């Protein structure tokens, strides 16, 4: 086995280190799922990253088994399958009906349908080295698409000038993981393992540079976009008076008595009296809403 042979001690060392770093990366979402468990709700979190991670682990295990000498790839991806499966089960337990159906559909489409198609095509149409080459390039293509996914996060960081959605620790661990697995693939002369991690390293460095650039910047706060498509500026604190009217049958005149509603110590009769005059057969309630600007807005 190339990854464990004493003739490749450095390959074994980097493969073992890659297992440790990747395992810690697999455990990174634990705080998220602890929050889901405590609140008994998925709170808008998406299941797609965990379904995709499960598919990636399945694909790399299949490649390692076909190549037959990559135990270090098998160990970490087997751990990944177990961990990601636990995440997905927890998500399905606490997700609403719509999110459950969506998760079930993408699991059937990606992890059953697409993976099954790859399995059949590579086993039935290719043999020997051609099978390894075909499966290797499939793994490269999928891994590249996964590494490109953080482009949306990079765009969000630039737009909002906030690194809230791009923790430095996660970017660092992904970068280190890419470096270690690149060196492992290089040492065992497996380009299918090495190539995707060049892109992973590149995007990891970009994320860390952006973190350093924007970590002390004032975030752009926006409740929406203006007519020109630009981010709205932060709204100042304001108090809004809302008249809520409810139709009701006419009551005796004495029931139309107006009770003042106070805001900041000042009586506010005018708005209520005007509303009562205009619609004597309605209940009018003055509701004061204090709206404060959020700390961070997302475009």
Q: What pLDDT is stored for residue 150 in this prediction?
A: 65
Q: What pLDDT is stored for residue 57 in this prediction?
A: 92
Which of 41-55, 111-125, 173-187, 259-273 is least confident?
259-273
> Does residue 226 fall inside a structural domain?
no
What does the DSSP 8-state code read for residue 231?
B
> Does residue 256 fall inside a structural domain?
no
Nearest residue to 288 via CA among 258, 268, 273: 268
Q: Could you read off the pLDDT of 62-119 as tens digits, one per residue?
A: 999 998 778 899 999 999 999 999 999 999 999 999 999 999 999 999 999 999 999 9
Which CA distances in Å does 114 have to 55, 111, 142, 235? 9, 6, 12, 47
> Does residue 258 fall inside a structural domain?
no
Percentage of the chain beyond pLDDT 70 is: 70
Rounded Cα–Cα distance for residues 229 and 234 (Å): 15
What does pTM read for this prediction?
0.66
> Does residue 104 fall inside a structural domain?
yes
Residue-wise DSSP of 29-46: THHHHHHHHHHTS-TT--
Q: Is the pLDDT of residue 247 over 50?
A: no
> Does residue 136 fall inside a structural domain?
yes
Q: Is the pLDDT of residue 232 over 70?
A: no
pLDDT band at 4 (very low <50, low <70, confident <90, very high): low
Q: What pLDDT is stored for residue 165 in this prediction?
A: 66
Q: The tokens 């108090």 sit on which residue?
A: 239
Q: Could you read off the pLDDT of 152-195 as tens digits, one per residue?
A: 678 878 888 887 767 787 788 888 989 999 999 999 889 999 99
pLDDT band at 219 (very low <50, low <70, confident <90, very high): confident
Number of Cβ within a 10 Å radius of residue 140: 18
Nearest residue to 21 via CA among 178, 145, 149, 148: 178
Rounded Cα–Cα distance for residues 182 and 194 (Å): 4
Question: If DSSP codes are grouped into helix, strand and coil, which group holds residue 275?
Answer: helix
Rounded Cα–Cα distance for residues 46 and 120 (Å): 30
pLDDT band at 127 (very low <50, low <70, confident <90, very high): confident
User: Do 222 and 232 meet the contact criterion of CB atoms below 8 Å apart?
Assistant: yes
Q: What is the mean pLDDT of the chain?
A: 75
Q: Which domain holds residue 42?
A: 9-215
Q: The tokens 């650039």 sit on which residue?
A: 213
Those residues with Cβ within 8 angstroms of residue 65's Cβ, 6 or more apart along the chain or in another chain = 74
> Does residue 29 fall inside a structural domain?
yes
Rounded Cα–Cα distance for residues 52 and 84 (Å): 9
> Does residue 139 fall inside a structural domain?
yes
Q: How many domains does the chain have?
A: 1
Q: What pLDDT is stored for residue 288 in this prediction?
A: 38
Q: Is the pLDDT of residue 202 over 70?
A: yes
Rounded Cα–Cα distance for residues 261 and 239 (Å): 14
Torsion angle in degrees (nearest 10) through CA of 15, 16, 22, 24: -170
Rounded Cα–Cα distance for residues 163 and 30 (Å): 20
Vertex 214: Cα angle to 208 and 217 (nearest 5): 160
User: Do 146 and 158 meet the contact criterion of CB atoms below 8 Å apart?
Assistant: no
> Does residue 267 fall inside a structural domain?
no
Those residues with Cβ within 8 angstroms of residue 178's Cβ, 6 or more apart along the chain or in another chain = 197, 198, 200, 201, 204
User: Do 196 and 147 meet the contact criterion of CB atoms below 8 Å apart?
Assistant: yes
Pick the most confident of 156-160, 254-258, 266-270: 156-160
């Amino acid at each position: 086995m190339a990854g464990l042979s004493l003739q490749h001690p450095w390959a074994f060392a980097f493969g073992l280190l890659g297992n440790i770093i990747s395992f810690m990366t697999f455990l990174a979402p634990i705080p998220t799922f602890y929050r889901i468990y405590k609140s008994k709700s998925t709170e808008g979190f998406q299941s797609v990253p965990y379904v995709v991670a499960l598919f990636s682990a399945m694909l790399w295990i299949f490649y390692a088994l076909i190549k037959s000498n990559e135990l270090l790839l098998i160990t970490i991806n087997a751990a990944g399958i177990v961990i990601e499966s636990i995440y997905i089960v927890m998500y399905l337990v606490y997700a609403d009906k719509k999110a459950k159906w969506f998760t079930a559909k993408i699991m059937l489409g990606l992890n059953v349908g697409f993976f099954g198609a790859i399995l059949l095509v590579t086993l039935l149409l290719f043999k020997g080295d051609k099978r390894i080459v075909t499966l290797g390039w499939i793994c490269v293509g999928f891994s590249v698409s996964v590494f490109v996914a953080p482009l949306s996060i990079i765009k969000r960081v630039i737009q909002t000038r906030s690194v809230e959605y791009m923790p430095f620790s996660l970017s660092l661990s992904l970068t280190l993981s890419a470096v270690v697995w690149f060196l492992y693939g290089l040492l065992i002369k497996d380009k299918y393992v090495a190539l995707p991690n060049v892109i992973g390293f590149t995007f990891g460095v970009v994320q860390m540079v952006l973190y350093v650039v924007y970590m002390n910047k004032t975030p752009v706060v926006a409740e929406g976009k203006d007519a020109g498509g630009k981010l709205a500026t932060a709204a100042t604190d304001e108090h809004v008076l809302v008249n809520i009217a409810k139709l009701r049958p006419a009551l005796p005149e004495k029931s139309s008595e107006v009770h003042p509603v106070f805001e900041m110590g000042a009586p506010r009769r005018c708005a209520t009296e005007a509303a009562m005059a205009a619609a004597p057969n309605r209940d009018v309630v003055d509701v004061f809403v204090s709206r404060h600007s959020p700390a961070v807005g997302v475009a």
